[in-house]
Amino acid sequence: MRVVWQMVSLLAIFFAVPAWGSGTERVVPILLYHRFGPVVRDAMTVRTMVFAAQIEYLRSHGYRIVPLKEVVAYIRGVGPPPPPHSVVITADDGHQSVYTDMFPLVQRYHIPVTLFIYPSAISRASYALTWDELRIMHDSGLVNIQSHTYWHPNFKIEKKRLSPQAYEKFVAMQLEKSRAKLDQELGIKVDMLAWPFGIYNEELIKSAVAAGYIAACTMVRAPAGPSDNVMALPRYLVTDQDTGKTLGRLLTTDSR
């Protein structure tokens, strides 16, 4: 009888421990940046001083900046929930200012960020990062580098322009060549993607999964959580106006 009660007690303890992803769903805002600089040159530019102020706001209001890969693991059901009041920082494209303006602040505050890069521009376009700069950031241990396809195409335009067979090959090339080039130059594992222009559909998602991606990000304005399709995670595009209470409202609003 004692053995039976011991087994019952053990089972009760086992089933009382919540599994990852069970219970209340935790959602995390994923912030999206593009360019930085001393002045606002376009809608995608955030002044460097404003970015610093945004980080200070997060720190002073109890937010914890966590790696995107940890949130993805939680959403996929293979990792624990991120801490309460978590937030993720990402930057798309690979603009030079990511190295000259963003990275020094990443180092100063010791925060993790994820960069989504389209390799065709690296060390080639005047506005873009170089491979050496990407290596330095990667080697810091704070910067995770992922794919933004090979040259940032507009898949809607390409689908109209190409035959179905040619389009299928084009999509595969954009997804596979980006991973291969980043791996070749940086020796990294690339398994996450940011959809160019936020464009995606079920067909593109299937192609991305076939190409080896386990997660992908969009530009839908909402926090990300387990109820989301991991291949279409929402992100908030951050602008130069998102400071103080405006940033606070962005972080606490679920627009879905």
Comparing 19-28, 158-167, 172-181, the range with the smallest average pLDDT is: 19-28
pLDDT digits (tens, 9 = 90+) for 21-45: 344 789 999 999 999 999 998 999 9
Alpha helices, DSSP H, located in the chain = 2-16, 48-60, 68-75, 97, 103-109, 131-139, 155-161, 164-186, 202-210, 244-252
pLDDT band at 14 (very low <50, low <70, confident <90, very high): very low
pLDDT digits (tens, 9 = 90+) for 98-150: 999 999 999 999 999 999 999 999 999 999 999 999 999 999 999 999 999 99
In a domain, 106, yes or no: yes
Q: Could you give the C-alpha distances from 166 to 89, 203, 213, in angstroms and in order?
A: 35, 14, 21
In a domain, 76, yes or no: yes
- Asked if residue 153 lies in contact with residue 174, where contact means CB atoms within 8 angstroms, the answer is yes
pLDDT band at 243 (very low <50, low <70, confident <90, very high): confident
pLDDT (0 to 100) of residue 186: 97
103, two tokens? 């990275």
215, two tokens? 């997660």
For residue 24, the tally of other CB atoms under 10 A from its CB is 7
Q: Is 227 helix (H, G, I), strand (E, B) or coil?
A: coil
The answer for residues whose C-beta is within 8 angstroms of residue 140's C-beta and 6 or more apart is: 103, 106, 107
58, two tokens? 């997060």
- Asked if residue 222 lies in contact with residue 254, where contact means CB atoms within 8 angstroms, the answer is yes
What is the bridge-based pairing of β-strands 86-93 and 192-194?
A: unpaired
Read off the CATH number of the domain in which 181 is found.
3.20.20.370
Q: Is the pLDDT of residue 202 over 80?
A: yes
pLDDT (0 to 100) of residue 19: 36
In a domain, 9, yes or no: no
Mean pLDDT score of the chain, rounded to an integer? 90
In a domain, 5, yes or no: no
Q: Is 45 helix (H, G, I), strand (E, B) or coil?
A: strand
3-state helix, strand, coil in the chain (%, to 5): 45, 15, 40
pLDDT (0 to 100) of residue 190: 98
Full residue range of the structural domain in which residue 162 is found: 24-250
In a domain, 170, yes or no: yes
Report, as an integer, the average pLDDT of 220-234: 96
Number of domains in the chain: 1
Cα separation, 62 vs 85, in Å, equals 7
In a domain, 63, yes or no: yes
pLDDT digits (tens, 9 = 90+) for 37-91: 999 989 999 999 999 999 999 999 999 999 999 999 999 999 999 999 999 999 9
Q: Is the pLDDT of residue 161 over 60?
A: yes
Nearest CA to 32 among 146, 120, 200, 179?
A: 146
In a domain, 58, yes or no: yes
Amino acid letter, 78: V
Q: What is the pTM of this model?
A: 0.89
Cα separation, 74 vs 163, in Å, equals 39
In a domain, 154, yes or no: yes
Cα separation, 56 vs 62, in Å, equals 10
